[in-house]
């Protein structure tokens, strides 16, 4: 009997991968180190490319059911309040990219993936199981878990995030690069947002070395806030408490709309933002990487989870086409994905520079983005939103 495919990590990427493999008829054992499947309490943006991947996983309707579809993306200057650019996301956008733009709560996204995985007999979801190391023995891969158990499988897919253990053994490029940018995030109930500040769109307030993004979540019942600024602080993980005084120092002097929004939050959670240089050696024999383990990126293009879901679809298709040659399928998957994901990694850094520009750079940004028509803006993201 064929051995199961082993997956390290049950975040968005790992669960998408389990589902994609099961839909192609492969048995899966997924190991998650935490005691439960859990996502940070925050929002996430989903481009048309994500909906194309979700369609292939038969998950699009489940995700859309809880999502919010904003009417536009807006950039405003956090010092003057002026509108810099507005990209409509309605009929013309949907006609162009054949899919909508969505924003959703991470819990809701994870819940949709988890429900679909639990409905699959071919998937075994195993929590409190940490992958420590692996051996590729040519005809099989053997994974060692932290309690000493050894598990054998057809292949190992490392979807264990930015601080991936599996990546250490395959790529070995050390710790991720700390960007020096920190994100503070919070989610409010709609009733907690002052009526004159609530907006149906994704709004980004660009300030010197800072930005604030806000948008509705969960069918409009919640409101997501992410404040980003430059800082040398470093805490590993995604859920440390944020120091409010530090936040205020960075946003001092900005528009009342920004400050009044920040004032609504009592407790912030903090993310230290990291990425890596793109590589193209994330597959070796029967072991490969997926999502942030393969190509961690800054969040400025809002694409990490989108890319992880696309990865899952492509990997499952390559494995299905390979007729048993697992190593060849892993290589084919990497070949199909590395340039696209590298481009997103690189562009995300550039977008971060633009959002946080000051002085002359900010002036130039405002002039060039402000001069674009919606059609120009759509053309600029065609490579991304066209999807896989």
Ligand X SMILES: Cc1cc2nc3c(=O)[nH]c(=O)nc-3n(C[C@H](O)[C@H](O)[C@H](O)COP(=O)(O)OP(=O)(O)OC[C@H]3O[C@@H](n4cnc5c(N)ncnc54)[C@H](O)[C@@H]3O)c2cc1C
In the complex, the residues that contact ligand X under the rule CB under 6 A are 8-14, 31-34, 44-45, 130-131, 159-161, 165, 183, 226, 271, 273, 291-293, 299, 302-306, 308
Strand, helix or coil for residue 231 = coil
Report the nearest approach of ligand X to the CB of residue 54 (Å): 12
What CA dihedral angle connects 21, 24, 25 and 27, to 10 degrees? -10
Q: Where do we find the tokens 């292939």?
A: 56
Between residues 73 and 366, which has the closer beta carbon with respect to ligand X? 73
* Angstrom distance (rounded) from CA 7 to CA 18: 7
* Angstrom distance (rounded) from CA 59 to CA 51: 9
Query: What residues are paired with 269 via a beta bridge?
Result: 185, 241
Closest residue to ligand X, judged by C-beta, is 304
Between residues 76 and 165, which has the closer beta carbon with respect to ligand X? 165
Please check whether residue 32 is in contact with residue 177, taking contact to mean a CB–CB distance below 8 angstroms.
no
Between residues 224 and 366, which has the closer beta carbon with respect to ligand X? 224
* Angstrom distance (rounded) from CA 181 to CA 233: 9
Report the nearest approach of ligand X to the CB of residue 383 (Å): 16
Between residues 306 and 366, which has the closer beta carbon with respect to ligand X? 306
Report the nearest approach of ligand X to the CB of residue 31 (Å): 5
Between residues 26 and 184, which has the closer beta carbon with respect to ligand X? 184
Between residues 225 and 366, which has the closer beta carbon with respect to ligand X? 225
Report the nearest approach of ligand X to the CB of residue 15 (Å): 8
Report the nearest approach of ligand X to the CB of residue 289 (Å): 9
Please check whether residue 351 is in contact with residue 211, taking contact to mean a CB–CB distance below 8 angstroms.
no
And the tokens for 62?
A: 């489940």
Q: Where do we find the tokens 């130039």?
A: 364
Report the nearest approach of ligand X to the CB of residue 128 (Å): 9
């Amino acid at each position: 009997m064929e051995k199961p495919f082993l997956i390290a990590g049950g975040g968005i990427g790992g669960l998408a991968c389990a589902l994609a493999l099961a839909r192609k008829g492969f048995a899966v054992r997924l190991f998650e180190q935490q005691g439960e499947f859990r996502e940070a309490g925050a929002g996430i943006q989903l481009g048309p490319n994500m909906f194309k991947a979700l369609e292939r996983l038969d998950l699009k309707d489940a995700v859309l059911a809880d999502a919010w579809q904003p009417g536009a993306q807006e950039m405003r200057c956090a010092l003057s309040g002026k509108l810099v650019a507005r990209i409509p996301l309605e009929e013309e956008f949907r006609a162009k990219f054949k899919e909508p733009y969505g924003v959703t709560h991470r819990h809701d996204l994870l819940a949709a993936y988890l429900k679909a995985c639990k409905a699959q007999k071919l998937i075994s979801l195993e929590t409190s199981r940490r992958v420590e190391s692996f051996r590729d023995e040519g005809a099989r891969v053997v994974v060692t878990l932290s309690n000493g158990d050894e598990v054998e499988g057809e292949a190992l897919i490392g979807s264990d995030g930015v601080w991936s253990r599996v990546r250490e053994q395959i790529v070995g490029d050390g710790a991720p690069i700390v960007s020096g940018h920190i994100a503070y995030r919070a989610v409010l109930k709609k009733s907690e947002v002052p009526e004159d500040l609530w907006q149906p769109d994704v709004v980004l307030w660009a300030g010197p070395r800072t930005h604030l993004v806000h948008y509705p979540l969960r069918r409009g019942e919640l409101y997501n806030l992410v404040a980003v600024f430059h800082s040398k602080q470093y805490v590993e993980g995604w859920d440390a408490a944020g120091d409010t005084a530090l936040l205020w120092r960075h946003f001092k002097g900005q528009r009342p709309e920004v400050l009044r929004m920040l004032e609504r939050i009592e407790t912030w959670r903090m993310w230290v933002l990291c990425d890596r240089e793109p590589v193209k050696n994330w597959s070796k024999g029967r072991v490969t990487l997926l999502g942030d383990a393969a190509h961690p990126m800054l969040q400025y293009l809002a694409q990490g989870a989108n890319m992880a879901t696309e990865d899952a679809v492509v990997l499952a298709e390559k494995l299905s086409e390979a007729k048993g040659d697992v190593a060849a399928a892993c290589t084919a998957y990497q070949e199909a994905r590395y340039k696209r994901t590298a481009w997103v990694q690189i562009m995300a850094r550039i977008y971060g520079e633009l959002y946080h520009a000051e002085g002359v750079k900010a002036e130039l940004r405002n002039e060039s983005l402000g001069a674009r028509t919606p059609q120009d803006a759509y053309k600029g993201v065609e490579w991304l939103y066209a999807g896989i």
